[in-house]
Chains A and B, each alone.
Chain A
Amino acid sequence: MQWEAVIGLEVHVQLATQSKIFSGASTAFGAEPNTQACAVDLGLPGVLPVLNEGAVAMAVRFGLGINAEIPETSVFDRKNYFYPDLPKGYQTSQMYQPIVGPGEVEITLDDGSTKRIRVHHAHLEEDAGKSLHEDFHGMTGIDLNRAGTPLLEIVSEPDLRSAREAAAYLKAIHAIVTYLGISDGNMAEGSMRCDVNVSVRPKGQETLGTRAEIKNVNSFRFVEKAIAFEIERQVELIEDGGTVVQETRLYDPEADETRSMRTKEEANDYRYFPCPDLLPVVLDQAYVDHLRETLPELPADKRARFQDELGLSAYDASVLASSRAMAEYFETVRDVCGDAKLAANWVQVELAGRLNKEGLDIADSPVTAEQLGGLVARVKDETINGKAAKQVFAALWDGEGDSADAIIEARGLKQVTDTGAIEAMIDQVIADSPVQVAQYREAAPEKRGKMIGYFVGQVMKASRGTANPQQVNALLKDKLDNA
């Protein structure tokens, strides 16, 4: 039987506010435990929450970025449950009237085509603290630094059909929130986590299968692997005559499997009700309009512009628009050198290759976009040849010069196109290589093509890589064949 997976994601994005969603405590990552938790975060008797306007603005910007409805009124609710790192015994969230209504996100599939994934809603909520299980002699430590950190939970419709699509969706969300600057998107530090709902059904069937929820997956790779495992598990289970039970599962990256955490019967009744300490959030149209006017260009628009205006391929456009840092870098290179295709090529091949090799993010590139643009400009106007350009790039990477021009000048890498100078070098090489010349001239014409490489190499070496390779080739051929 042909099976189809139905997948929905709940992505929790940590918003990049300076202070917490309901208190003035700092949200900076990595501080000593409990040094960034004030009376409100600790849930002391008598404290009250005050909503951080910055978190509201970020949520609305996200909503505008996915063309979502922005309801005039949204309401905070309390989600009640006991847990040691949940100080108040409830999480303040938005159950019934979220701040962002239905919208949609465009994802790019492996073949370069795009698909629209509907977002059901996005709501604001506070994060919990962390339970620490190490170093406490059998006891559990509680760190409330993270308690009260603002989260935007983005809930998709079950529109995803494969692990690859889910990963692409997550990447698209990541791109949008980092483009908007509303999150640092740092998955290793937990700035983006997601819960995944997976079910399977025979292809063509309308009704949904029973779903399992995989909690708290925190990387693109793990999302893909967890879903792939879960789909296979459910299909095998059904094919072996079993049934999928509605439950919450955890993904274990080390074993690369999901494991049952609790079943529906054990699920909490969260007893949601409107938080009486917070007033409904009412957004006036002028406020929303102002936020809309100050939105940056977002990935989907950028991708379209890269294709339509710059003439890049769908693939190139999609890679270059995938993150704000990458797109901005590319656009600077292109502005400096004036050639979008060359710029795209250098950013994606030379730069991305080196960054990847060194495990660096584009934001940390030792070669600035201005420097690379200067280099590509010299390739474009043929001041240097491709080989020399690679040398210049390496030199820029190693900090051996401030600009491509300075390095070209210092190393004498300017391409030699003077025929007389090239001919002199060729004559010298021919004079120094009597054996090779003899072999060449004795060889059948169809074998000579390969043999000429030796002479080209020698001439390029003699020119320290600066001779124009096409000229060298043509002149050599002429001299060797017509002697």
Chain B
Amino acid sequence: MHDKTLTELAAALAAGEFSSRELTESLLARIDRLDGELNSFITVTADAALEAADRADRARAAGKAGPLTGLPLALKDIFCTQGVRTSCGSRMLDNFVSPYDATVVEKLAAAGTVSLGKTNMDEFAMGSSNENSHYGPVKNPWDLAAVPGGSSGGSAAAVAAGLVPAALGTDTGGSIRQPAAFCGITGLKPTYGRVSRYGMVAYASSLDQGGPMARTAEDCALLLGAIAGHDLRDSTSVARGVPDYREELEASLSGLKIGLPREYFGDGLAPEVEAAVREAIAVYESLGASVREVSLPHTELAIPAYYVIAPAEASSNLSRYDGVRFGHRCENPTDLVDLYKRSRAEGFGEEVKRRILIGTHTLSEGFFDAYYKKAQQVRRLIRQDFLDAFEDVDVLMGPASPTPAFDLGAKKDPVSMYLQDIYTIAINLAGIPGLSVPAGFVDGRPVGLQILGPHFAESRLLNVAHRFQQATDWHRRQPAFGKENA
């Protein structure tokens, strides 16, 4: 069962080949066997999962099953889940049991899905390798010496290893697309405002967006339909109808205009990754698409702008972790300042502290105009670059990451880690949707093709990805890890 896609599982459940309980038990057993090594889950909610599976089976027996009823999945541990620890990968929230559900968690439960648990992540979604987790690094199922990418590394690794057919991730600068690429799965970052952020622990509010991670674009379409939509509790969610994202999956790509941003194929891109991406683009040409080079002239400013805006917002968003009401509190504080200082010093990891310091600095009197305001100006230019490009082409394509997954412990310098996100980060600044699909391997490690579209063009992106997956089988490949035990 563990090698089936979400869509295949839905069909099997509907056909009565097995029950949701059987499926859930089988995956829980697999998690039990394999995740000790992989470390993709922070919390497995086996009892709640089995109860939900039973409910789903009863609903199906009563003829009340929907398209997602009984389907298992996992949630990045950034989504608040009532009665379950929501750690955000941080010691700070190790003791935090959320008293409420995030909107997307509510929606998925209402759709009858079965959550198996909460997946590992970089602390507060800050990182590109999942090495910044209080709960230890996650390994890449394709190569246990490699990182799974981050920050949604646990979700990506769990799907790749067949522990769960799909998972939710979040993406602030590439945190869905880069781990999806590193783990050989499909991951979609929707348009900013498409999916409610209510109950999603905030890192950088103007950039954060939740989205689906699964084996196929078809599965992402199914899941996106369940989580997208306007939410009165999130003012930045957009009041716009949610289409059935599966409807246009089969549309022909004949006449599709693909743009290749010149800046995404320059220095720093590993030649083997470029070769894989160019091969994927050749597949599109064979499907009737035309390809042209375009320019996103402000690309090189994306990382500097991001590392002003995101830390600025983070420094404010993370102020609530003060040891007063919830989360980590130091032992025997001598006074209020001591309580703040030690609770935060003990509760936050290095990278989180680094970004809080950067953000606090850039917002400070005398620096605000030079950093924050300037970065916002750059952000508008970057957005305009994309809008201009989409005047001429339907989608943009390029690598999701300059290299395949690197080794655990390989990147010690924060800036070299930040440069990992060179192709993904501008997309969050522009607010447009982006998706990564498996497009080959380099030395046994997956390569991801990134596909970008205009705001709210999710249906088109999923269609473009789906047609590729009908023409290729990269997304069907499975790692050796877990096979001998299957």
Contact = CB atoms under 8 A, between A and B. Distances in A.
B233 A48 contact: yes
Contacts of A42: 325
Given A50-B232, A80-B319, A82-B322, A273 B363 contact: yes
Interface of A: 39, 42-51, 78, 80, 82, 84, 87-90, 142, 269, 271-273, 276-279
B73 interface: no
Interface size of B as a range: 35 or more
B235 A49 contact: yes
A82 B344 CA distance: 12
B107 interface: no
Nearest to A142: B324
B102 interface: yes
B118 interface: no
Contact of A84 (B102, B312, B324, B360): B324
5 contacts: A44-B80, A44-B326, A45-B201, A46-B201, A273-B316
B119 interface: no
Interface string B362-403: 011100100010000000000000000000000000000000
Contacts of B234: 48, 50
B325 A87 contact: yes
A90 B233 CA distance: 20
Given A50-B235, A142-B324, A276-B313, A45 B86 contact: yes
Contacts of A43: 320, 325
Contacts of A142: 324-325
Interface in B314-333: 315-316, 318-320, 322, 324-326
A22 to B, nearest CB: 9
Nearest to A40: B233
B320 A89 contact: yes
Contact of B235 (A48, A82, A271): A48
B427 interface: no
Nearest to B90: A45
- Which of B200, B316, B336 has most A Cβ within 10 Å? B316
Given A48-B197, A276-B313, 14 more contacts: A42-B325, A43-B320, A44-B98, A45-B201, A45-B326, A46-B86, A46-B197, A46-B198, A84-B336, A271-B365, A272-B363, A273-B312, A273-B316, A277-B235
B93 interface: yes
B198 A45 contact: no
A82 B340 contact: yes
Nearest to A78: B316
B80 A45 contact: yes
Interface in B220-262: 232-236
B88 interface: yes
A87 B235 contact: no
Given A39-B99, A89-B316, A271-B363, A47 B235 contact: no
A131 to B, nearest CB: 10
Nearest to A50: B235
A39 B199 CA distance: 10
A269 B367 CA distance: 12
Contacts of A88: 319-320
A133 to B, nearest CB: 12
A43 B325 CA distance: 9
A46 B365 CA distance: 28
A46 B235 contact: no
Contact of A45 (B88, B336, B363): B88
Nearest to A81: B319
Contacts of A45: 80, 86, 88, 93, 96, 98, 201-202, 320, 326
Interface string B72-105: 0000000110000010100001001011101000
Contacts of A44: 80, 98-100, 326
- The 4 A-B pairs of least Cβ separation, nearest first, read A89-B319, A271-B363, A276-B206, A276-B205
Contacts of A80: 315-316, 319, 363
Contacts of A48: 197-198, 233-236
